[in-house]
Structure 1
Amino acid sequence: MDSIPANRRLWNKISGDYQHEHDPRIGAAPRLWGMYSIPDTHLRALGDVVGKRVLELGCGAGQWSRALAAEGADVVGFDLAETQLAAASAAMGASRYRLVQGAADQLPFATGSFDLVFCDFGGLSWAPPHLAVPQAARVLRPGGRLVFNVASPWFEACYDEPAGRVTTTLRQDYFGLAAIAEGDGATSYQLTYGDWVRVLRGAGLVIDDLIEPRPDPGSLNGYNETDPPDWAHRWPAELLWVTHKPEVPHAER
């Protein structure tokens, strides 16, 4: 089933409330990853972006895109929902960058257009990864990088839906992780470690690192309730994949 129209409706509906609740946290400082706002200066996942063409898949209100444009990147913020892009446009300020509406499984960009494609709980959480990852790989130039942060399958498997929180008890089958119903036909996506590896390698990408961001004890999760509160200090809540598209061999140029 094509979840993209329902996901678009969901994010157009909830964008205002989402930004009101989370914008101060997401935009508190440049380059903050994930549920615990861990600085990229600590994780060292994204690297230097000066002079590079960058695509953010699922840019929301543009907090990341705005920061990278201010650093000197040529940024395109891409999102499924028009209301998210309207929020990005309103907050753009002096750091100008391009905004494009569309779905991550059908990117409207030429092959080899970008030096870096990235997302932080964006397009690769809200589009089928087996379709979206090959699209991301296609629009990367040889040597370009795909870097993205998603929820860990541990986090999803321990999520207690009726209680609305993450606990220390396994609630879902690990091998059953795939599509997660978000209501009104909307769907988010989660893969096992092995399935992520197969999808990435199947798209021709080389896996350089898998970072499991670990917040300090007492760090607050701005998005989910956890029991115990320091859940993510003890078990991985997120997966930050760092990959690249191989250079074209000399004989094939």
Structure 2
Amino acid sequence: MDSIPANRRFWNQISSSYQHEHDPRIGAAPRLWGMYAIPDAHLHALGDVTGKRVLELGCGAGQWSRSLAAEGATVVGFDLSEAQLTAAAGAMGAARYPLVQGAAELLPFAAGSFDLVFCDHGGLSWAPPHLAVPQAARVLRRGGRLVFNTASPWFEACYDDTASRVTTTLHQDYFGLNSITEGRGATSYQLTYGDWIRTLRGAGLIIDDLIEPRPDPGTPNDYNRTDPPDWAHHWPAEMLWITHKP
């Protein structure tokens, strides 16, 4: 829980600049996953959401939530940062949906409230997974799905802090990736593949698939520098977990 205040301040401070830089790409089309904006139509991760009760953990300015609400889902946008939620409210448009502030570690929803809980580099990247995953599982109904995208341990282990870029050299210990110090005192979180599996299974979830999105050469990454530029075409930069609650 110690990271909640610092992470809230961090996102409140950077929200405006983050949305100014990234919103044109995030919101360019519906259902774009991750650092390389790969369409869900190529990955088939989310499925039909019509009539489903959906919770987005870490909705930011609501690009995903707006899209799913327009498709007929009953969406709740959830975020730690009031500045991010203000951005979401301002961009809501015709597809209106409720916005709730809180931490993924402490979800303020009743058990079995949602058919789908998902995030794209959201709540499960910025909250300790051993706390946030059981909360996500708790608010899912039986048969409901948890689908989330986060950075790959490969990407984190190859990140050169000095050069501020991802390279072809291992710079971090694979087994020491549990928490990652970000700017302004914030903390993000990463697990090994084995620890992700144990955390998901420990929360009572069944793992249906693990997709490692692979961008085409030349696909831009507006979030991180990589050397070579097509790094993510050769090694997995992200991992998209698809699970369900039996």
Name the TM tier (shorter chain): over 0.9
Q: Which runs of 5+ in 1 are unaligned?
A: 247-253
Q: Counterparts of 2:182 and 2:194 in 1: how far apart (Å)? A: 24
Q: TM-score, structure 1 length as denominator?
A: 0.97
Q: 2: distance between equivalents of 1:184 and 1:66?
A: 30
Q: Which residue of 2 aligns with 1:99?
A: 99
Cα offset, 1:184, TM superposition: 2.9
Aligned to 1:144: 144
Displacement of 1:162 in angstroms is 1.1
Instruction: Give runs of ≥4 in structure 1 deviating > 3 Å.
Output: none
Alignment of 1:74-85 (within 5 A): 74-85=74-85
- String of CA shifts for 1:116-168, please: whole Å, max 9, x gaps: 00000000000000000000000000000000000000000000111110000
Secondary structure at the residue paired with 2:144?
strand
The answer for the alignment partner of 2:122 in structure 1 is 122
Quote the Cα distance in structure 2 between the aligned partners of 1:92 and 1:238: 28
* 1:66-100 deviations in Å (ceiling 9; x for gaps): 00000000000000000000000000000010100
2:36, 2:183 → 1: CA distance? 25
Match of 1:88 in 2: 88
In angstroms, what is the RMSD of aligned CA positions?
A: 0.6
Describe how 1:2-41 pairs up with structure 2 within 5 A.
2-41=2-41
How many residues are matched?
246
Q: 1:87 and 1:184 mapped to 2: Cα distance?
A: 21
The answer to whether 1:198 aligns with 2:198 is yes
Are residue 111 (structure 1) and residue 101 (structure 2) matched? no
Q: Which moved more, 1:214-223 or 1:200-209?
A: 214-223
Q: Does 1:165 align with 2:165?
A: yes
Q: Secondary structure at the match of 1:105?
A: helix
1:177 aligns with 2:177: yes
| 1:222 CA drift (Å) | 1.5
Q: Which moved more, 1:46-55 or 1:1-10?
A: 1-10
Match of 1:250 in 2: none
Residue 183 (structure 1) shift: 2.8
Q: CA deviation at 1:111?
A: 0.2
Which one-letter code corresponds to 1:205 in the other structure?
L
The equivalent residue for 1:54 is 54
Please give the alpha-carbon distance, in whole angstroms, between the structure 1 residues aligned to 2:168 and 2:181: 22
Q: 1: CA distance between counterparts of 2:164 and 2:142?
A: 43
Residue in structure 1 matched with residue 64 of structure 2 by the alignment: 64
1:220-248 CA distance string (max 9 Å, x none): 111001000000000000000000000xx
Unaligned runs of 5+ in 2: none
Q: Which residue of 2 aligns with 1:251?
A: none
Q: Structure 2: how far apart are the matches of 1:68 and 1:6?
A: 30
Q: Counterpart of 2:220 in 1: which secondary structure?
A: coil
Q: Distance in 2 between matches of 1:235 and 1:112?
A: 37
Q: Deviations over 1:161-209 (max 9, x none)?
A: 1111000000000011100001332100000000000000000000000
Among all aligned residue pairs of Structure 1 and Structure 2, give the percentage whose two residues are the same amino acid. Answer: 83
